[in-house]
Each structure stands twice: as structure tokens, then as C-alpha cells.
Amino acid sequence: MKNWWKYVLIGLATVLLEGIFIALTPVFLSGLSYTEGIIAGTGFFLAFEMVICTGAVIAKIEKKE
């Protein structure tokens, strides 16, 4: 049960970070419209999450061997 809460808190922190990142992306990509900036920000954040999750899975697999 202890690990469950840890993962819930990590998930909530990720959602908060994503919200901040998506809100700031249109500001940094000012050449795009607001909607395009949000779409690009979402794509960037999802790519970032995929890299982190892939690294975590690979580390877990290597740790078992």
C-alpha cells in the first residue's frame, strides 16, 4: 500500500508539471497560434514522458539480470 501512494503522488506531480509546461509552451513558441502551441507542448511533454518511462523500464530490466 505504501508503494501505491508513492505512485499516486508521482502521477499527480506529473500532471501538475504537464499543466505548467503546456501553459508556458505557447509563450515560448510565439510564432505559432495559441492552439498550435498547446498541441506542440503536449507533443513535447509526451515525448519527454516516453523517454523517462523507457529509461525506467530498461533500468528495471537490467536490475533483474
Q: What is the 3-state secondary structure (H, E, C) of the chain?
A: CHHHHHHHHHHHHHHHHHHHHHHHHHHHCCCCCHHHHHHHHHHHHHHHHHHHHHHHHHHHHHHHC
Tell if the pTM clears 0.85, that is, is over it.
Answer: no
Number of structural domains, the chain?
Answer: 1
The domain containing residue 33 runs over which residues?
Answer: 2-64
Is residue 54's pLDDT more than 90?
yes
The reported pLDDT for the residue numbered 4 is: 82
The reported pLDDT for the residue numbered 1 is: 65
Nearby residues of 34 by Cβ (< 8 Å), 6 or more positions away: 26
The reported pLDDT for the residue numbered 11 is: 87
The per-residue pLDDT for range 6-52, each reduced to its tens digit, is 888 888 999 999 999 999 999 998 898 999 999 999 999 999 999 99
